[in-house]
Copies of this chain bind each other. A is one copy, B any other.
Amino acid sequence: MPTYKLTYFNFAGLGEPIRWMLSYLDVPFEDNRIEREQWPTIKSTTPYGQVPVLEVDGKQVCQSTAIARYLGKKAGLAGSNEWEDLMIDTMIDTFNDFRSSISKWFRESDEATKKRLEETLLNETVPFYFNKFNDHIKNNGGYLANGKLSWGDIYFISIPEFMTTIWSDIIDKYEHIKALNDKVVNLPKIKAWIEKRPVPKK
């Protein structure tokens, strides 16, 4: 069995989909959580100045989506054919477009700009995407694609689940996203991870 070491900050963010996939796979992994003050030193040791970085038998790999897809194949959670894989990938890349708006808000240090970004995010970006995702999940048998669980569902849900720590009711209005959330967080291995994971200080 390969050894896995995940390096990311001490919060959910883009580390969490990988932690969920490794938990689903039921493989041991080192959950290397770094604090903000360590980042300048660690940054230059990463392939492209970014985390998460997953070391697989000591080989560094970056990019959370690429890593989740890889682990998804190992877990039997890829599509059954090329078209099914495309259906997962197109949704995840669309979701990542949405996610980039959250990152922009998250990284903004100017208080006034951050407030303005949050308003646009909550009043425009979230409703635009979440209404579409909600309908899409409804039309796909309660899953993100192909009417069945895939790595895409785990990747997708890990982010709104994190968002609820900031905006507690963010998915409540979206019945089918909420139902998918409940399905994913109750997968036994993911439920066990959520129960035992460290709770970062606010």
Mark A146-182 against chain B: 1 for CB-CB distance below 8 A, else 0: 0000000000000000000000000000000000000
Which residues of A approach B to under 8 Å, CB–CB? 47-50, 61-63, 65-67, 69-70, 73-74, 82-83, 85-86, 89-90, 92-94, 97, 100, 128-129, 132
Copies in the complex: 2
Q: Are A62 and B90 in contact (CB under 8 A)?
A: yes
Complex Cα spacing A63 to B94, Å? 7
Enumerate chain B residues within 8 angstroms of A83, measured Cβ to Cβ: 70
Complex Cα spacing A67 to B100, Å? 20
User: Closest B-chain residue to A73, C-beta based?
Assistant: B82
Complex Cα spacing A61 to B86, Å? 9
